[in-house]
Amino acid sequence: MVAHEFSIPVTSLDAAGRSHHFPVRAAWMAEALAGHEAQATDKDGDLEVRLSKSGNDVVVYGTLNAELVAPCARCLEPVKIAVHQTLSALMVPASQVKSPDKDDYEFKQDEAETHPYDGDTVVLDDLVRDELVLETPMIPLCREDCPGISSAPAGSSPSAKATASNDEKPIDPRLLPLLRIKERLK
């Protein structure tokens, strides 16, 4: 059985609620974000949550603080991404979650923040991972006016030198693979 990072036994909860503090380990974030563009830094994050029980349901409210790094969409330099996100979710026993009967099932508004738990333990791992992914910008930039990948210094690339005449600008190095293909097709 896989050990979960953020799990709380339901028996320890009541209607008044209970606060929990978890470190969000950099190693856990690295594993949780495997295959994603954003990656964990070497700093641990922080998860503060308050869970309260309402019948069989568990209400989760808290904050997630973490630091990620992703490549700049223009120059590919590392960009630090500070995650400061409020979490809120309703955890319901898995036996009460409707499973869609068809492939084109559309979630209703009230189902969007509803997550199943096994009946004995509330596990927040998926919720935390989802928030880390959702807080990563679609186009991370190191700065708003990032010029992108700088062209190679004059004379450093034979292909760029050969194709740039005196009055033309050198070819963007990102386009050199296309130029090589064009030259092979001649």
The residue that leads in pLDDT, 132 or 107, is 132
Predicted confidence at residue 93, as pLDDT, reads 82
Distances from the Cα of 176 to the Cαs of 107, 148, 151, 159, 172, in angstroms?
46, 16, 11, 7, 7
* Token duo for residue 32: 């949780």
Predicted confidence at residue 186, as pLDDT, reads 80
pLDDT band (50, 70, 90) for residue 105: low
Q: Which of 13-17, 101-105, 159-163, 181-185 has the lowest mean pLDDT?
A: 159-163
Predicted confidence at residue 1, as pLDDT, reads 38
pLDDT tens-digit map of 64-99: 999 999 999 989 899 999 999 999 999 888 776 666
The residue that leads in pLDDT, 42 or 2, is 42
pLDDT tens-digit map of 15-31: 888 999 999 999 999 99
Predicted confidence at residue 153, as pLDDT, reads 55
Which of helix, strand or coil describes residue 32? Answer: helix
Predicted confidence at residue 102, as pLDDT, reads 60
Closest CA relative to residue 87, chosen from 122, 132, 53, 57 = 132
Which amino acid, one-letter code, is at 10?
V
29: left (phi over 0), alpha (psi -120 to 50) or beta: alpha
What percent of the chain is modeled with pLDDT above 90? 41
pLDDT tens-digit map of 117-172: 887 888 999 999 999 999 999 999 998 888 887 665 555 555 544 444 445 667 77
Predicted confidence at residue 160, as pLDDT, reads 46
Sign for the CA dihedral angle at 142, 66, 33, 124 comes to negative
DSSP class of 73: T
Q: Indicate the helix (H) or strand (E) that contains 171.
A: none
Residue for token digits 């969007």?
Answer: 112
pLDDT band (50, 70, 90) for residue 178: confident
* Token duo for residue 106: 């559309």
Q: Please name every residue paired with 59 in a beta bridge, in sequence order, or none if there are none.
A: 52, 90
123, 5 contact by CB (below 8 A) = no
Predicted confidence at residue 95, as pLDDT, reads 72
